[in-house]
Amino acid sequence: MRIFLYILFIFPMLVFAQGQVTVSGIISDQNSGERLIGASIYSPVSKLGVSANSYGFFSIKLPKGSNAIQASYVGYQTSSVTINLRKDTVLNFTLKSSLILKEFTVKGTQSRNAHPYFSTLNMVKLDMAKMGDIPAILGERDLLKSIQFLPGIKGGAENTAGFNVRGGSSDQNLILLDGVPVYNVYHLMGFFSVFNGEAIKNAELFKGGIPARYGGHLSSVLDVSMKEGNLKKPEGTFTISPVAGSFTLEGPIKKDTASYIISVRRTFIDFPLMLIQKMQKQPYIGGYYFYDLNAKANWMLNQKNRIYLSFYSGLDRNFFTGNDRNLKQSFRYQWGNTTTVLRWNSTITPKLFSNTSLYFSSFNNTQRTKAKEGDAVNLFKTTSKLNEWSFKSDFDFYVSPEHVVRFGGKVSLMAFSPDILQQRNDETETNFTQETRKEAFAGEVYLEDAMEWGRMNANVGLRTAYYGIEGKTYLSFEPRIALNWTLKPDLTISASYMRNSQNLHLLTNSSLGLPTDLWVASTKNIAPQKADQYSLGIEKHIARKYTFGLEGYYKTLKNVTRFNEGAAFLSGRDRNWENNVSVGEGEAYGSEFMFRKENARLNWMLAYTLSWSNQRFDDINRGRWFPFKYDRRHDFSALVDYKLKSKKSGERKISLAFVFKSGSQVTINDTETEGVMLPGFEYYASPEYVDKFRVRQTYENPNNFKMPSFHHLDLNYSVKKYRNSGRGHEWSFSGYNIYNHLNPWMTYKEDGVAKQLSIFPFIPSVSYRYKW
């Protein structure tokens, strides 16, 4: 062990220490002070380069004497200084934005300095500058819908924000907001995501060879960072679309030292709906709305220390209330997330950077029904909660420009309260299913080593995870490796392997059109999920404009859960969710293809995925393999944007998006059998429904129906005008499903015949954005 540590840490330091000094610092935006994640530092003389970490910090060892040092970032002008180095030096860079390059493109970033050990298909960096250029239904920018154009990522039902990566389910994606997991990322039953584009600075997606610093989910990592707030001057934005409006304000608390940002988004469809109901004098008035609130503040204590405080709250609420003679009734169904995190960045030495976080994340799903007749009051309430309190610390150690070691750990306490029922009247109050409440303790440590050896680049790591619940302990060792071999300057081969474990399970009844999801913990009876994934790919750059990528993958999954068809979450006072799930295995494999072109005016990307995804459970389908719900054989998408000629103060752009996907697998009942109704039950049912209540349905063959393929073409035209002061506005005109193809959104069976429901015809929209 001592020899290993010597080789890993001490020996490289001795080799590079002689005649060299360390240059470290921060790279930030000149106008706002925002730190630039992944910006590059390069020395033309020594031909050495590094990239800034997630907080804009860099560290590089250079020879003593005169050195030219360049700082660069996509969309910014390169900054260069010449300095005579005699000792360790702190050197900060501020880069000026280049308006010509301010475009939004969903693309992979293959930079030798930024991520030399990941292929474009395994690691994707998303530029958030102009998300509005991608056609969006009802003019709402959406990060999660944008990434569905990438190969290997499949959407759920049409026009929903849910996504599945390489044969995994949506709950197997780790989605982080400022380093905090967000457990429910959808609004309006999945039609929109919780991410307000006005508050987001950066997003990175990992599909394969996931670094050891990430863990807890099986399929992918989407790491989203909020803006920090302008350190130089106040500014803001206002946006409005047919669905929602948002308002963002940011600025310095103390110039060049502390800043803040507050961003609010809310739908307003409930206001006209309630007004119409009141005008019609209806006895019951109802509505629906959702909102998102993002807030963040940061303070630079000195050149080496900075603290951040971030907060997010999002909520969906469906409600109605009213009077019917002497009976007063109200109903409320709401769900949402709350996250908050306190972070401390510290430059311990010129070569050692640390980030320490204390965070809280919560997801709450509540249904409440209240009825009052005279003095009698009856209340029925169901609640599902997931709370997590965590403390973690991460370290980046820059051994040399070609060698960076990352290590850290996390401890977490998680509290699960699924399926809690409460019933109360004037005389009694009763709580059911209290036994489903559980607490779990989790701990993780990791070591990650990023190295460059000439043409070979590698990221090798090991993550160890501990999970304890109900006196049961689970220990997982998760090796990770990502390799990238440059055969020629324009040709690379990549390979990766990763093992992941997941302690959470998401119960979803796939036979329902609008499923209610339930987060539950691994228990002494239900073990954590595990997955192993292998990938191999090749990437070719042509004439500095075209990029071609091809990658294959194979994944095995263990201890995956499936909620029994036809069962209900709230199935009785003495029932436990563990009695309604099956535990089995899965496999997924396929190939991904990507071809794109980029230049100043015309950009396009073609993406295609050919894939298979299957599952097997001993007590389902006679123990035979069957297709997973999102086993879509073919998935093709195309993105094109063209910048029209315009004046210096403005920009006009046309964007096209086309999608074709094979139909997903759904379960419909195999047989319908007329049963005998329980004595007395017929008095509680209307006569016209008595016959339907007698029918009993069976689900012997899971995912036994393949929905038809769906496809649509979308168009967006945007006009943007800005002044030198930064003030300006944007208009976006878009059309969803231009040729009005009625795609199946849900399939059901009626009178023995399978039928489909389509809800998205051609939909035009317009949105407006103003910035000052």
Q: What angle do CA 533, 535, 536 make, to 5 degrees?
A: 165
Backbone angles phi, psi at 471, to 5 degrees: 80, 0
Q: Mark whether 93 and 235 lie in a shared domain.
A: no
Tokens 């403005």 correspond to 650
The token pair at 498 is: 């990763």
Asked if residue 456 belongs to a domain, the reply is yes
Q: Mark whether 292 and 441 lie in a shared domain.
A: yes
Asked if residue 132 belongs to a domain, the reply is no
pLDDT at 4: 41
Report how far residue 60's alpha carbon sits from residue 398's, in angstroms, rounded to the nearest whole number. Answer: 7
Asked if residue 214 belongs to a domain, the reply is no
Radius of gyration of the chain (CA): 27
CATH of the domain at 95: 2.60.40.1120
pLDDT at 556: 95
Final residue before a domain boundary, out of 72, 92, 108: 108
Report how far residue 500's alpha carbon sits from residue 522's, in angstroms, rounded to the nearest whole number. Answer: 15
DSSP 320: E
User: Could you tell me which residues are beta bridge partners of residue 151?
Assistant: none
pLDDT at 365: 85
Asked if residue 374 belongs to a domain, the reply is yes
The DSSP line for 387-400 is EEEEEEEEEEEEEE
pLDDT at 33: 86
pLDDT at 15: 45
Q: Compute the half-sphere exposure of residue 188: CA atoms within 13 Å on the CB side of its CA.
A: 20
The token pair at 164 is: 């599945």
Asked if residue 298 belongs to a domain, the reply is yes
Asked if residue 187 belongs to a domain, the reply is no
Report how far residue 121's alpha carbon sits from residue 82's, in angstroms, rounded to the nearest whole number. Answer: 37
Q: Of 597, 591, 668, 656, nearest to 629 (Cα)?
A: 668
Q: Which domain holds residue 430?
A: 226-667+702-771
Q: Of 238, 260, 144, 239, nearest to 193 (Cα)?
A: 144
Final residue before a domain boundary, out of 46, 78, 108: 108
Helix, strand or coil, per DSSP, at residue 6: helix
Final residue before a domain boundary, out of 108, 129, 147: 108
Mean pLDDT (10-residue bins), the chain, 772 residues: 44 53 88 86 84 86 87 86 87 78 40 58 76 75 86 80 86 93 85 88 90 93 92 92 92 94 92 84 86 95 94 91 79 91 94 95 87 78 87 93 92 84 64 71 95 88 94 94 91 94 79 56 90 94 88 94 64 62 92 87 91 91 87 92 77 90 78 56 50 57 80 90 79 91 78 76 90 89
Asked if residue 174 belongs to a domain, the reply is no
CATH of the domain at 426: 2.40.170.20
Q: Mark whether 349 and 497 lie in a shared domain.
A: yes
User: Could you tell me which residues are beta bridge partners of residue 584?
Assistant: 560, 617
pLDDT at 419: 66
Q: Is the pTM of this model over 0.95?
A: no
**Alpha-carbon torsion angle 219, 111, 101, 176, nearest 10:** 30
Number of structural domains in the chain = 2
